[in-house]
Copies of this chain bind each other. A is one copy, B any other.
Amino acid sequence: MSFKKIALAHGAGGSAQNELLKIITSSITEKCYRGGVGLDELDDGGSIPLENIEIVFSADAHTVSPIFFPGGNIGSLAVAGTINDVLMMGARPLAISDTIVVEEGFDTLQLKEILDSMNRVAREAGVSIICGDFKVVPRGKLDQIIISTSGVGIVEKGKIIVDAGLRPGNKIILSGMMGDHGIAILASREGMEFDTKLISDSAPLVDVVNAALAAGKITAMKDPTRGGVAAALNEWAEKSEVSIWIDEESVPIRKEVEGACEMFGMDPFEITCEGCILIGVDDRDAENVLAAIRGTKHGKNASIIGEVRQDHPKKVILKTRIGGHRIIEMPYGEPIPRVC
């Protein structure tokens, strides 16, 4: 291995994490179930092909800090995030598992509030929380709480949607405002010197995905969490062997998010999103799908932000507001630690 100790960047969704994930997936030889989507594809989840259906299976660990933030908490984030991962593969999410590990002395009223939020998100998405585990570690052995969630969904065989599905000519839709979640988390940290009304948009995006799938041919879906839109687009470009051209003018983003990024020297394309998704769609269906998404509760701000081309494969290129072009690189790591 090229490094001896795990660094924060190894869990932060960028190229450092990818290096580590390669080590993980090379250690695991049993990483694919009978031709389904396997661990080494580093997609939103894996799959288990059965006779007529494919089970989609996805897992997330959540270590967000602070655990309560404007717009949600670690529990709502966990359930929404896992539901979204199952949705991203074109599957209907059915059930969630959760494992909760807390530090001795954790406040039970806070635990209750977290559980209530998890339940609320599950109910909104029509998903059940059917199993779980609960562990307590001695005081000082954990910073408050970690929640891991897994999700199970089903999809008709052959209809699974993977990252490698993008085709030249496809349009790229972003279903909501970029970067709200990451900046809301940053602003809620102690010692932060900016004030904003920004709240996390973390939500289960069943409505957006169902509307999109019903309105046209969807070739890829991805929730741009750690590493933000930059990481998600680069993964797509890499796996689909295409270039992705983004028009900065079309990207929905709030003034507060842009302002905060400028203040802290961060690229807004690298900020974690938890309430919007990227959708690749057949050119002919793009306007239809966009209109359908805009008709949903969580998709009002959707926009076509770019397109897929054959030239310059594996590159993501931004057409800037002032008319120039720059490469959107795979970020090294998420600029804000512990954001999900």
Q: By the criterion CB–CB under 8 Å, are B154 and A152 in contact?
A: no
Chain B CB within 8 A of A220 CB: no
Interface CB pairs A-B, < 8 A, 15: A3-B108, A4-B108, A4-B109, A6-B105, A11-B101, A20-B134, A27-B115, A31-B130, A32-B130, A33-B128, A39-B130, A45-B130, A59-B131, A59-B150, A62-B135
Q: Which of A140-148, A260-268, A303-311 contacts B (4 or more CB under 8 A)?
A: A140-148
Chain B CB within 8 A of A15 CB: no
Q: How far is the CB of A1 from chain B (nearest CB, A)?
A: 5
Q: Which residues of B contact A198 (CB under 8 A)?
A: none
Chain B CB within 8 A of A47 CB: yes
Chain B CB within 8 A of A190 CB: no
Q: By the criterion CB–CB under 8 Å, are B119 and A59 in contact?
A: no
Chain B CB within 8 A of A50 CB: yes
Cα-based distance from A107 to B107 in the complex (angstroms): 32
Q: Which residues of B contact A327 (CB under 8 A)?
A: none
Copies of this subunit: 2
Chain B CB within 8 A of A138 CB: yes
Q: Which residues of B contact A6 (CB under 8 A)?
A: 102-108, 111, 136
Chain B CB within 8 A of A175 CB: no
Cα-based distance from A3 to B112 in the complex (angstroms): 12
Q: Which residues of B contact A48 (CB under 8 A)?
A: 94-95, 130, 152
Chain B CB within 8 A of A53 CB: yes
Q: How far is the CB of A39 from chain B (nearest CB, A)?
A: 5
Cα-based distance from A289 to B20 in the complex (angstroms): 46
Output the nearest chain B residue to A119 by Cβ-Cβ distance: B28
Output the nearest chain B residue to A38 by Cβ-Cβ distance: B130
Q: How far is the CB of A204 from chain B (nearest CB, A)?
A: 12
Report A234-264 CB contacts with B as 1/0, cut-off 8 Å.
0000000000000000000000000000000
18 additional A-B pairs beyond A7-B104, A24-B132, A48-B94, beta carbons within 8 Å, are A1-B108, A3-B108, A4-B109, A6-B111, A11-B101, A11-B135, A33-B128, A33-B130, A36-B130, A48-B130, A48-B152, A58-B97, A61-B100, A101-B146, A133-B148, A142-B146, A150-B150, A152-B152
Q: By the criterion CB–CB under 8 Å, are A112 and B5 in contact?
A: no
Cα-based distance from A38 to B37 in the complex (angstroms): 27
Cα-based distance from A21 to B115 in the complex (angstroms): 11
Q: Which residues of B contact A137 (CB under 8 A)?
A: 11, 63, 143, 338
In chain A, positions 10-62 with a C-beta closer than 8 Å to chain B are 10-12, 17, 20-21, 23-24, 27-33, 36-39, 45-48, 50, 53, 55, 57-62
Chain B CB within 8 A of A230 CB: no
Chain B CB within 8 A of A270 CB: no
